[in-house]
Amino acid sequence: MTISMYQASVPPLVRSLTNLGGILEKAAAHAEAKKIDPAALVSDRLYPDMFPLSRQVQIATDVARRGIARLAGQEAPPVEDKETTFPELIARIQQSITYLQTFTPEQIDGSEEKSITVPLGKDKSMDMPGLPFLLSIILPNVYFHVTTTYNILRHNGVEVGKMDFLGQP
């Protein structure tokens, strides 16, 4: 049995972002129940030199959207990084999921060897084949930023567990 590039990319990313939205919904409910200013959670970080929760969510959604667009030979529409509340972050996640769901297997499958240009800063980039781009750049980055968001919230007492991260099978 083989797995297609589409099946290895879009469904896992949609699932991860869906679970991230659920985690943020639990965080919003936690803040309300405990009378915590939600902005304190949205702006929290694990360590002073790390990005805050809001930026973690922005990066996870950007990597997913831009990565899949690149595999399909497209440019993802820009999304302004302006979210400062749980509802705004959840809306951004939903917008990203909706965008990912516009892609078809025909647009992604066969991109294993396709040369993908990966930006590395202002004036730098590197080219790599599609499969390593998916497995070494897109998926690990999304999982890292989703996990970091989860960890910030867990550290702040939000009652989330492994199944919130993994979601229902």
pLDDT in tens, 51-66: 999 999 999 999 999 9
Q: What average pLDDT does this structure show over 121-139?
A: 94
Whether 83 and 92 have beta carbons less than 8 Å apart is answered as yes
Note the CATH number of domain 5-166: 1.20.120.450
pLDDT digits 0-9 by tens, 67-104: 999 999 999 999 999 999 999 999 999 999 999 999 99
pLDDT tops 80 at residue 169: no
Q: What is residue 168's predicted lDDT score, i.e. its pLDDT?
A: 79
Please provide the DSSP assignment of 156-167 as one string. Answer: TT----HHHHH-
Whole-number pLDDT of residue 119:
86
DSSP 3-state of 116 = strand
Question: Cα(163)–Cα(169) distance, rounded to whole angstroms?
Answer: 10
Taking alpha carbons only, the member of 165, 162, 156, 151 closest to residue 50 is 151
**The pLDDT of residue 141:** 97
Quote the mean pLDDT of the chain: 96
Tell me: the pLDDT tens digits for 112-128?
Answer: 999 999 888 888 999 99
